[in-house]
Structures are given as structure tokens and as C-alpha cells.
């Protein structure tokens, strides 16, 4: 209980909303995204992740994309940026539950060549555990 917490942050109260649900367990941050990931919401995602890396020493970030309805190059940029930040720290970034039309955009960008994708959160947690 002490080292895990759940909270939700609303990003932008306008029409295009991205909701974030954070769950922290030991050195792993799980972020469930719900909405659209573009230049407007990307900076908030960046802040949400970076603050946990810097303040809590988070080294594994799992992004659940199940409820992401849109992503463009600004959204992909924030993912790539977190990957680049974690890499020299020995950290990892994992993506789960990417819907087909979102995965298609990611594939076109070459992201799956450097970032591991998992079918669900359980598989993402499992891989690398105890290693």
C-alpha cells in the first residue's frame, strides 16, 4: 500500500481530452492512457512520466494504449523521448494493448523495432521480473 498508488489526472477540459491513470509499484510506473495523444496532450504525458523517473527513481514504464483513440508524430515523439531518457539509466519502456489502427502508425514510424510491445499488462510485468 505504501509504495503503490492510483490516481487520475485529467488533461485539458476541452473537447480533446486525455485521461491518465497512474499506478506505481516498486520501481515500475504503469500509465493507462485514455483519449488522444497529440501535441496538445504529449507534454502532459512527458511531465507525468519524467516526474516519476526523477523523484521516485522509476526505471520501468509500462504504457497501456488500450483506450488511445489517436496518435500522431507528436505522440510518438513523447514515447521515443521517454525511451531515450530511460535507456542510459538501464530502464525500460513497454507498450501494451495497442489497438490495430494505433499500432499501424507506430509500425510506420519504426517504433516496434526499438520498443517492446505486449498483449496486456500482465505480460509486460512478467517480462524482466526477477532478472
Partner 1 sequence: MKANQLSLTFSSISENVGITRLLIASVGAQLDLSLNDIEELKVAVSEAVSNAIIHGYKNNPDHIVYLNLDIAKDTLKIVVKDEGCGISNVEQAMQPAYSTDPERMGLGFVFMQSFMDELQVESTLEVGTTVTMIKHLKQTPISSH
| Residues forming the site for partner 1 (CB under 8 A) | 12, 14-16, 36, 38-40, 46, 70, 72-74, 76-78, 80-81, 84, 101, 105, 108-109
**H or E segment to which residue 12 belongs:** none
Q: 62 vs 2, 48, 95, CA distance in Å? A: 20, 13, 6
Q: What is the rounded distance in angstroms from the CA atom of residue 34 to the CA atom of residue 60?
A: 20
State the nearest-atom distance from the C-beta of 109 to partner 1, in Å. 5
Q: Name the residue nearer to partner 1 (CB basis): 23 or 40.
A: 40
Beta strands per DSSP E along the chain: 4-11, 18-25, 28-37, 60-71, 92-96, 116-118
State the nearest-atom distance from the C-beta of 40 to partner 1, in Å. 4
Q: Name the residue nearer to partner 1 (CB basis): 28 or 42.
A: 42
Q: Name the residue nearer to partner 1 (CB basis): 16 or 122.
A: 16
Q: What is the rounded distance in angstroms from the CA atom of residue 37 to the CA atom of residue 5?
A: 24
Q: Name the residue nearer to partner 1 (CB basis): 72 or 121.
A: 72
State the nearest-atom distance from the C-beta of 53 to partner 1, in Å. 15
Amino acid at each position: 500500500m505504501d509504495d503503490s498508488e492510483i490516481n487520475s489526472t485529467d488533461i485539458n477540459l476541452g473537447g480533446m481530452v486525455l485521461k491518465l491513470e497512474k499506478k506505481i509499484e516498486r520501481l515500475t510506473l504503469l500509465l493507462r492512457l485514455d483519449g488522444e495523444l497529440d501535441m496538445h496532450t504529449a507534454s502532459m504525458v512527458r511531465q507525468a512520466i519524467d516526474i516519476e523517473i526523477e523523484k521516485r527513481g522509476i526505471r520501468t514504464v509500462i504504457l497501456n494504449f488500450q483506450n488511445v483513440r489517436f496518435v500522431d508524430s507528436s505522440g510518438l515523439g513523447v514515447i521515443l523521448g521517454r525511451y531515450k531518457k530511460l535507456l542510459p539509466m538501464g530502464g525500460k519502456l513497454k507498450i501494451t494493448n495497442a489497438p490495430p489502427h494505433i499500432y499501424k502508425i507506430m509500425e510506420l514510424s519504426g517504433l516496434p523495432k526499438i520498443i517492446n510491445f505486449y498483449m496486456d499488462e500482465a505480460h509486460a510485468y512478467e517480462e524482466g521480473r526477477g532478472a
